[in-house]
Structure 1
Amino acid sequence: MTATEFGRALRRWRDRVPPGAAGLPSGGQRRAAGLRREELALLAGISVDYVTRLEQGRAVNPSAQVVEALARALRLSAEERAYLFRLAGLVPPGPETVPGYLTPSVQRLLDRLVGVPVGVYDAMWTLLLANPLYAALMGDPSGRRGLERNGVWRNFLGPGSRVRQTPEERREFQAALVADLRTTAARYPKDRQLQLLIEELRAKSERFAELWDSGAVGTQPGGRKTVDHPQVGPLTLDCDILSVAGSDLRIMVYTAEPGTEDAERLALLGVLGTQSLVG
């Protein structure tokens, strides 16, 4: 398989995905019905230049993470995804790897969850997909790369999130997060990316190392959360974490009680999107 064949496959599959189906605006002058390169780059979380070089056969040996992100953005079937991995000279991820694949049926389900913030994470809490309202609520993740997209890393080593927490709530949340990650590590002991994440966190965060060494296992619960948004103010929302049998993905959905000020602010956020009210 050659880089040229990989690039041809990307262009062919990009041309068949209508922007509206990917949650993107479909108006304006378009030379083709499918995604533009910059739109594919946005959806996959990689640079436009890299997409261009991949399509032109000038970039070789893309990582498994990049191929997975492209397959997800292009909404490939399981067979097409496996084919793209082989074109890249990679073995398609097996059952020992943390799943990062969204089936077309799950993608269609997510497409229908309009009006509510939805984020999809894998079992190691790496953000795979965020709908526009989730990005508006929690901050636009499109510029995040690598570990910056991982919720555990961000909580211990990064900027955290907009969710308001007391010191006690933060300690409890971190403990649950680490217990959840340990459960995942037991399920996927051979996943190299998961091992690297744990090594990074243990080396750089004393708090994570302390919690990890405690040996606790569990799952990360949802619950009621208050999000401090810089434009519309605080929103107190119910956070539910859904799972799909066989995928091990975490679908995080935020909803507001109807008729409340929180529901009004969430509706306003849907109008504003990720734009700022100032400047």
Structure 2
Amino acid sequence: MRREDLGRMLRGWRRARDPRLIPAPVPSRGHRTYLTQLDMALLLGVSERWYRALEKGEDRRYGAEMIAGIVRILDLDARQAAVLFRGTGHRPPQHPQTAARPSPALLELMHQQRCVSYLADQAWDVVGANAIAARHCPWLVRPGANVMTWAFSPEARYQLRDWERSWAAPLLDRLRLAWQRWPDNDRLDEVVRAVRGAPGVRELWDTHAPARLSDDDLSDDAPRPVYFPLVAPDPIDVRVTALAPYDDRSLRWVMISAVDPGVTFP
């Protein structure tokens, strides 16, 4: 396919995308009913000129990560995604996953929260995050963000204080529980393998005695320390609240708020 035709198709998909359904906060969206090229560039973390070149059909080397981000932002179906990947010189993913689709009302509620607020699917792939989450946990709005794989990364072990006891152990409980409940979820299986392959995690997985959790035990009232440099110079205690909208376990709505009501997220 000629790049000009691909760019024309991409332009149509962008203009048809409702900004209310975008997984990440759209800068200055106002009352517009479409996404601009600048919106796309900011959401993808590239320059507006670089993104515009793709829609103009310029023959450049566009990274697979950028293309995956476009697929996610525009919620392209498997055929559209395959066209975009192939048209930019990439092989389409072998096992595309059907992303959970939050309702506009749920996304609006998520964006209204005055704390870190995000949505994740059964495999903990992030499908939505508010502006506060993007500011204090920028990894949440990166293409392909996954809560579990990030939580066991070196970056997370610095931000999530008392990491092994307060964070790693309870997260492994939930990951193990989900893995047993949804054995046919290939993406979840990939996440488990990635987490178990992280430094030091195999030992935790094999030796940690799981807590008594049920499928309804999504939230945890235990205070946990997190370092948010834009909030306070020292780690603060937070509370993690997780909800399953209308008992729909294909989505998790997670809110991370300060235990001290006097601490606010700018």
AA in 1 matched with 2:117 = V
Match of 1:275 in 2: none
- Looking at structure 2, the residues matched to 184 and 93 of structure 1 have their Cα atoms a distance apart, in angstroms, of 25
Match of 2:151 in 1: 155
Match of 1:24 in 2: 27
Match of 1:221 in 2: 218
- Looking at structure 1, the residues matched to 182 and 96 of structure 2 have their Cα atoms a distance apart, in angstroms, of 10
Match of 1:132 in 2: 131
- Looking at structure 2, the residues matched to 212 and 98 of structure 1 have their Cα atoms a distance apart, in angstroms, of 28
Normalised by the size of structure 1, how large is the TM-score? Answer: 0.63
Match of 1:169 in 2: 166
2:67 and 2:85 in contact (8 A); partners too: no
What SS is found at the alignment partner of 1:154? helix
Distance apart, 1:40 and its partner CA: 1.0
Normalised by the size of structure 2, how large is the TM-score? Answer: 0.66
Distance apart, 1:200 and its partner CA: 4.2
Match of 2:105 in 1: 108
2:241 and 2:256 in contact (8 A); partners too: yes
Distance apart, 1:26 and its partner CA: 4.3
- Looking at structure 1, the residues matched to 100 and 60 of structure 2 have their Cα atoms a distance apart, in angstroms, of 23
Query: Which deviates more from structure 2 when the two are superposed, residues 214-223 or residues 244-253?
Result: 214-223
Instruction: List alignment gaps of at least 5 residues for structure 2.
Output: none
Distance apart, 1:119 and its partner CA: 0.9
Distance apart, 1:204 and its partner CA: 4.2
1:178 and 1:212 in contact (8 A); partners too: no
**Given the alignment of the two structures, is residue 10 of structure 1 paired with residue 4 of structure 2, yes or no?**
no
What SS is found at the alignment partner of 2:170? helix
Give the count of matched residue pairs. Answer: 245
Match of 1:265 in 2: 263
Match of 2:205 in 1: 211
Instruction: Tell me: CA distance 1:239–1:38, structure 2 relative to 1, closer, same or farther (3 Å).
Output: same
- Looking at structure 1, the residues matched to 174 and 38 of structure 2 have their Cα atoms a distance apart, in angstroms, of 34
Quote the RMSD (CA, aligned, Å): 4.4
Match of 1:251 in 2: 253
- Looking at structure 1, the residues matched to 10 and 129 of structure 2 have their Cα atoms a distance apart, in angstroms, of 22
